[in-house]
Each structure stands twice: as structure tokens, then as C-alpha cells.
Amino acid sequence: MVTDAASHEPLSGAEVKAGVKVVRTDADGKYSLTLSVGVYELSATKYGGYTVTSSTVDVGPDGVTQDFALTLAPKATIKGTVTDGSGHGWPLYAKVAASDGTVAFTDPATGLYQLSVPQDAEYTLTVSAVSNGYSAREEHVTVGTADVTRDSRLTVDLGCAAPGYQAKYSGTTQTFSAKSAPTGWTVSNVDPGLPGYAHQPGWVFTNPGRRGNHTGGTGNFAVVDSDRSGPAHLQDTRLASPTTDLTGSAAPASSSAVTWCRR
């Protein structure tokens, strides 16, 4: 039987292990483990902060009885505040899950959370906003005997769906709503010179596979559709934009989809 060392009450769901064999106690704290005759190192523990207790047993032909009294490990507190990290800085209603299974939710009004965990251990906290639009974050915390404060700031994801934000495009943008390359844009296809293989069409603007727009926008789009081109086609293709003057930009950058989330 497995019991609580302080209350002497039976512990259900405690884990008893001998080598690779593992069983769990029933509602009355009892367990049964089938072993061959021999000497074994048995250990028992229970999820929720109980320490591991071990004992060496000599199993004879008639078996052996081994009880365990488990002690709760001393606890420490991990506490902190979860806030918006993309500009507003306001408190967030978030879930904070420790790697030992302990879970807490922040106060939506203040962003404060508190976790009670066993001392002298390392934890990974997964912090995720309850509302959509924020990227989850991991915090690594080492807990000794004293309480630990760990704040976390969550940033909005590129979808800009977080409350208080909207998508803003910075710089020059280009849609591909027509069925040909926009003015100033060029498509260059490299011929690999392999007999029987075609190097066309490369980049196209007619949606030949009828795939729908998955770019995050609406309307027509540019695509290199290898599946639609067929097995006898090879694509080595370039879609080039017109020359852009970036001399006035302090931090010039280019991308196929640059989105800034604006407060």
C-alpha cells in the first residue's frame, strides 16, 4: 500500500516502479506487481509534488509485501506578470503551464499569476494568451528554496489578430491581380538544356491549378505551380521587381510578405 506520510491516508494513482515495470495504486492505495524471484529496487512516487521513495526488496516464491509512505516535497512559488510586449504593455489574461503539469491563469485585470511547485528543481513555463493573436513563449526557471519572480511579455503574431492591433504594410507593395506580370516586373525562366524537358512556364498569374488565394490577401496571385506543369517540366524561374530606391530608408529590407502590426 502507498500512503501519505503525514495523514496516513491511502494515495490513489501513485506510481510504483521496479526496473521497466510500472503499476499505479487503486482507489485504496493498493498495488500489485508481478516479479520473478530475486532482489529488486522498488520506488514509489505520486504526481503533485511527492518525493520519490525507494526500497530494496527480496522477492521469494511466496512474494513480498512492501508499503510506501510518501512525503510531499517542500514548495516554492513562481509568480510574475504577463503583459503585452508589442507596444501597448497592458496586462494579459494568459495560461501559465509548468513542465511538471502545474497550471495557473493570470488575473485578467492585472496579469498576475502564481504557481506552487516543488523546490530544488528546474521548470519550463509555457505562457500563452487566452485570446487569439499572441505567440506563446517559454520561460526557463530554476527554483531553489526561495520564491522566484518571472515576468513574461508576449508579442503579437504576424496575423495581427490581437485586440488593439491592425495590419499595416510599410513601403512599396505590389498586388498580382492581373493575369500577367505587373508593369516593370519580369519573369525569367532558365532552360536546363535537358532533352524532352520544358522549362516553361515558371511564374504565372492565372492560377492554373485553381488553388485559391492562400497568401493572406484576396484576388489573384503569383504562383509557380509545378504539379500543374506536369512531370516533363523543370522550374528554375525568377520573378524580379522594378528597381526600388531605398536611399531614404534607415533600415531597408525586402520580403515577399512584410506586415507590421500597428497599435
Which residue ranges of the chain lie beneath pLDDT 50?
258-259
Q: Which of 70, 93, 117 is the last residue of a domain?
A: 70
Domain shared by 50 and 13, yes or no: yes
pLDDT given for residue 3 in this prediction: 95
pTM above 0.75, yes or no: no
Angstrom distance (rounded) from CA 129 to CA 261: 17
Assign residue 146 the CATH number of its domain.
Answer: 2.60.40.4130
Cα separation, 27 vs 10, in Å, equals 8
| Residue 164 in domain | no
Q: Are 231 and 198 in contact (CB under 8 A)?
A: no
Listed residues 154, 179, 200: the one ending a domain: 154
Residues 103 and 18 in one domain: no
Q: Are residues 222 and 200 in the same domain?
A: yes
Same domain, 113 and 48: no
Asked, for residue 103, whether it belongs to a domain, the answer is yes
Confidence (pLDDT) at 26: 96
SS3 20: coil
Note the pLDDT of residue 218: 78
Domain for residue 160, yes or no? no
Give residue 263's pLDDT: 53
Grid look-up 489578430 returns 161
256 within 8 A of 239, measured Cβ to Cβ: no
The span from the CA of 148 to the CA of 119, in Å, is: 11
Boundary-marking domain end, from 15, 40, 70: 70
Contact 225, 202 (CB under 8 A): no
Whether residue 159 lies inside any domain: the answer is no
Domain containing 149: what range? 75-154
The CATH number assigned to the domain holding 22 equals: 2.60.40.1120
DSSP 177-223: -SSSPPTT-EEEE-----TT-B----SBSS-TT-----SSS-S---B
CB 106 within 8 A of CB 91: yes
Q: Give the pLDDT confidence score for residue 228 in this predicted structure.
A: 80
In a domain, 199, yes or no: yes
Q: Is residue 250 part of a domain?
A: no
The total domain count for the chain is: 3
Residues 127 and 98 in one domain: yes
* 194 in the same domain as 115: no
Domain co-membership, 176 together with 261? yes
Q: Report the distance separating Cα 112 and Cα 117, nearest Å.
A: 17
Q: Indicate whether 149 and 188 sit together in one domain.
A: no
Name the average pLDDT for the chain: 88
Within this chain, do residues 43 and 126 fall inside the same structural domain, yes or no? Answer: no
Looking at residue 227, its pLDDT comes to: 80
Same structural domain for residues 57 and 112?
no
Q: What pLDDT was estimated at residue 257?
A: 52
State the pLDDT at residue 259.
46
In a domain, 248, yes or no: no
The confidence score (pLDDT) of residue 110 equals 97
pLDDT of residue 258: 46
pLDDT in tens, 160-194: 788 888 776 666 778 888 888 889 999 998 888 88
Residues 239 and 179 in one domain: yes
Supply φ then ψ for residue 228, to 5 degrees.
Answer: -70, -30
Least Cα distance to 164 among 83, 256, 258 occurs for 83
Residues 20 and 63 reside in one and the same domain: yes
Quick check: is 161 in a domain?
no
